[in-house]
A and B are shown apart, each in its own frame.
Chain A
Amino acid sequence: MSKPLTSAVEALLNKGGDMKNSRYWSPYAAGTLLGLTLLATFYVAGRGLGASGAFSLVTGVGLNAVTPDYASRLKYFSQYLGSPSPLMNWNLFLVIGVFLGALAGALSSRSFKVMFDKGASMSLGTRLATTFGGGVMIGFAARLARGCTSGVALTGGAQLALSGWIFVIAMFVAGFLVAAIFRRLWS
C-alpha cells in the first residue's frame, strides 16, 4: 500500500479511539470485527464465543492427571472426564486461537513486550496478590454464572438472552462499586 493510503486507513481505524493510544485500532472498528466473528460462529456452528470453558476443562483434565482418584470424586468435572479425548474440545481450540490471534496482533504492531504490568504505585507483592486473587474470583464466578464476559455477556447479550444482560449489569455495578476502593492501586 502507498504511504498516504496506509495512513488514511490508520486514521479511519483510529477514529473514535483515544489519541494517547493511537497504536490501537478504534474500539468501534475492533468491536465491529468482534461482532462479525461472533455472528460467524452463530451462523456456521450454531454457538457463540467463550473463554472460561477452556479454563474449566483444563483444570478438570489437569487434576485428573495429578490425582485421578480425587478428580473422579468431583461431580462438576465428570462432564469432561467421561470422554476418551476430552482435550479435543471446541472451547479449548477457540482459546488456542485467541492466543495465536492476539500474538499476531501484538507482533505485527510491534507492541509485544515481556513485562509484569501493575499500577504505578503498586508494589510487586500487591500486584501478585491482586492478579492471582482476582483470577480466583473470576474463575469461581464464571462457573457459577455458566460463563464469562465472552460466553455469557457477549454471546448472551447479542442473543438478547436475559442471562447476558443480568451478567452485564451485575458485572458493571459491582465493578464500579469496588473500583472506588481499588482506585489508589490502579490509577
Chain B
Amino acid sequence: MMAPFEFSALAGLGLAVLFGMVFGLSLERAGLGDPHKLTGVFYYQDFTVPKVMFTAIIVAGTGLYLLADLKLLDLTRVYFVPTFFWPQLVGGALFGVGFVVSGYCPGTAVAGLASGKLDALITMIGVGAGTLLFAMLFPALEGFYVSSDLGTATLQKLIGVNHWIVLIVLAAFAGGMFLFFSWYEKRATHSQS
C-alpha cells in the first residue's frame, strides 16, 4: 500500500495529537512562544522566524518530492493548499500586520500560552473574534473570497520547470539569507562591544 494511509477516525485524532506535540515542542524550543523573538525579524534584531521557517520548508519540501519521485508517496492523494491569488495576497498582508501588532500567529500563540504568557491568551480570543467577524461579513466577502481561483497551482507548473530546479533555487536563496543573517549578527555583536 502506498502512502498516504487510511486509518480510523480515532487513530487519526491520536496521530493529530502526536504530530501537534512535536510541532509545539519545536516551536517552543526555537523560542517561538516569545513575542519578542517572533517579531524580532521585523526590527532586524532576531532572525529566528525566517531561520526556522525556511529550514522547515526546505526540509519538508525536499522530503515530499523525494518520496514522490521514489514512488513511496502518492502526491495525487496529498491535499495541496489551493491558490486564490487576491484573497491570499490581501489576507497574507493583513496577517503580517496583525502578527507585528500582536506579536503572535495562531500556532505560536498556543505555544506562548503553554509557556505561561497570558497576553497570548488575549491574542487567541482576538483570533476567535476575527473569525466571527469574517463569518458575519461573509455574505459581502464571498465574491472576493472565491475570486482569482488558480486551483492547486505550484511554482514548477507556473514557471514550467522541474520541481528540483525550484527546490534548488529556494535552498540557495535560503542559504544565502542564512549567511547574511550570520554576517549581520556578528557585525551587530561587534558594534555593541
Contact = CB atoms under 8 A, between A and B. Distances in A.
Contacts of B81: 48, 146-147, 151-152, 155-156, 159, 161, 163-164
Contacts of B118: 114-116
Interface in A109-137: 109, 111-118, 127-128, 130-137
Contact of A134 (B18, B42, B52, B100): B100
Q: Determine the main DSSP class of A at the interface with B.
A: helix
A167 B83 CA distance: 10
A154 B51 CA distance: 12
Contacts, number: 519
Interface in B161-182: 163, 166-167, 170, 178, 182
B16 to A, nearest CB: 4
B123 A114 contact: no
A117 B106 contact: no
A113 B115 CA distance: 6
Given A43-B4, A74-B135, A104-B21, A55 B106 contact: yes
A60 B115 CA distance: 27
A97 B23 contact: yes
B183 interface: no
Nearest to A51: B107
A133 B120 CA distance: 12
Contacts of A88: 9, 13
A8 interface: no
Interface string A81-102: 0000000101101111111111
Interface string A37-76: 1111111111111011011101110110000000000111
Interface of B: 3-5, 9, 12-37, 39, 41-43, 45-48, 51-61, 63-65, 67, 72-73, 77-85, 87-120, 122-136, 138-139, 141-142, 145, 150, 152-156, 158, 163, 166-167, 170, 178, 182, 185, 189
30 contacts: A27-B51, A31-B59, A45-B12, A49-B107, A51-B110, A52-B131, A75-B138, A97-B17, A97-B20, A97-B22, A105-B114, A105-B115, A111-B115, A113-B115, A128-B122, A138-B130, A139-B129, A140-B98, A145-B90, A146-B81, A150-B23, A158-B61, A161-B154, A162-B83, A169-B92, A170-B92, A171-B95, A174-B93, A176-B42, A179-B39
Given A43-B63, A131-B103, A139-B130, 13 more contacts: A35-B55, A36-B59, A37-B22, A43-B3, A55-B124, A77-B135, A102-B25, A102-B33, A104-B21, A142-B95, A144-B94, A149-B95, A186-B35
